[in-house]
Amino acid sequence: MKFNDDIKKALQSLKNSPLKTTKQRVDIIKILFSEGNNHFTAENVHNKIEKLGLNISLATVYNCLNQLTENGIVKSVKTSCNKIYFDTNTTSHHHFFCKNSSTLIDIESKNIKVSKLPKIPNGKKLDSIEIVVNLTD
């Protein structure tokens, strides 16, 4: 698999994190970032691993993706059908989710305007807003 700037940047983020740079993590990062910004389920990643002839269990894929999420290298998006997608675009943005095809499509933050929020509970502060717009055919 050929290295691109997205893979190099993600590998540098891994090196800067408290996580060890293991072969499995490097292989998973190469898969995730090989085509730029993308969305994957753990099963998608595991299928690609099997097609490449790599030997990484599905449990290891889940653990690695969760660790990459915890360290800001990818972010997770939970959809209305309770599927969790891992997003290589960690900038602030939103998503369309098509229930029929199970696909996520990025929406730039500037294209969504939040006009009113409920009162934030005492002692709490707003961290972020992530919107998933559900679609069907």
For the chain, which domains are there?
A: 5-78 (1.10.10.10), 90-135 (3.30.1490)
Q: Give the pTM.
A: 0.89
Going through the chain in order, the beta strands assigned E by DSSP cover 39-40, 75-78, 84-87, 93-98, 103-108, 132-135
| pLDDT, one tens digit for every residue, the chain (137 residues) | 567 899 999 999 999 999 999 999 999 999 999 998 999 999 999 999 999 999 999 999 999 999 999 999 999 999 988 899 999 999 999 999 999 999 999 999 999 999 999 999 999 999 989 999 999 98
Question: Tokens 């800001």 belong to which residue?
Answer: 72
Please report the pLDDT score of residue 18 as a whole number. Answer: 97
Please report the pLDDT score of residue 82 as a whole number. Answer: 86
List the one residue out of 10, 67, 80, 71 whose CA is nearest residue 38. 10
